[in-house]
């Protein structure tokens, strides 16, 4: 991790926005803990479409209900979650398969929605910070193999 990244953490925790987990994850995690931010990790490893991606977010932030497949619902979910926090929220999208054809078209709208949440949080005197750990593309489907949310083999 670079010193430049470490110096950016206080600013990021104050203003919110996107961070690069490849360069400043440890420093951000320490700063977020010190500033009493909630730290959430959305396990996107099995998300093959928008709905599954949203389910990963719902699970990560412990939102009490699933809101469907609309970005307006994601925005409401994250804004309510930010409101429930003392200082703010950090959301890491872990192993996001943004190169999957079913997700590829949604990434720009996802980022735009997350930026809108960061703006909302800033207006509320809090911060929303988000980052993506990319995982490329899922392997192609294999005949006889069922993809599900369970860790057990099918």
Q: Tell me, yes or no, whether 78 lies in a domain.
A: yes
In the predicted structure, residue 153 carries a pLDDT above the cut 70: no
Residue 62 has what DSSP assignment? T
- Domain of residue 39 covers 3-134
pLDDT digits (tens, 9 = 90+) for 85-135: 999 999 999 989 887 788 888 999 999 999 999 999 999 999 999 999 876
Q: Tell me, yes or no, whether 22 lies in a domain.
A: yes
DSSP assignment of 64-98 equals SS---S-HHHHHHHHHHHHHTSSSEEEEEEEEE-T
Q: Tell me, yes or no, whether 145 lies in a domain.
A: no
pLDDT digits (tens, 9 = 90+) for 23-77: 778 889 999 999 999 999 999 998 888 988 999 999 999 998 878 789 999 999 9
The DSSP H or E segment spanning 55 is helix 50-61
Q: Residue 141: its pLDDT value, please?
A: 58
Residue 105 has what DSSP assignment? T
Q: Tell me, yes or no, whether 109 lies in a domain.
A: yes
Domain count, the chain: 1
Q: Tell me, yes or no, whether 153 lies in a domain.
A: no
CATH number at residue 26: 3.30.370.10
């Amino acid at each position: 991790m670079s010193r430049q990244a470490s110096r950016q953490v206080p600013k990021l925790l104050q203003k919110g926005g996107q961070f690069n987990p490849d360069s400043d994850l440890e420093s951000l995690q320490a700063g977020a803990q010190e500033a009493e931010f909630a730290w959430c990790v959305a396990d996107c490893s099995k998300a093959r479409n928008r709905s599954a991606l949203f389910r990963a977010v719902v699970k990560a932030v412990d939102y009490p209900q699933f809101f469907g497949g609309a970005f307006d619902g994601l925005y409401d979910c994250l804004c309510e979650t930010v409101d429930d926090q003392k200082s703010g929220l950090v959301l890491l999208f872990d192993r996001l398969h943004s190169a999957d054809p079913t997700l590829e078209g949604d990434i720009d709208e996802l980022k735009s929605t997350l930026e809108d949440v960061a703006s909302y949080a800033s207006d509320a005197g809090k911060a929303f910070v988000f980052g993506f750990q990319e995982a490329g593309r899922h392997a192609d489907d294999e005949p006889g193999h069922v993809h599900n949310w369970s860790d057990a083999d099918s």
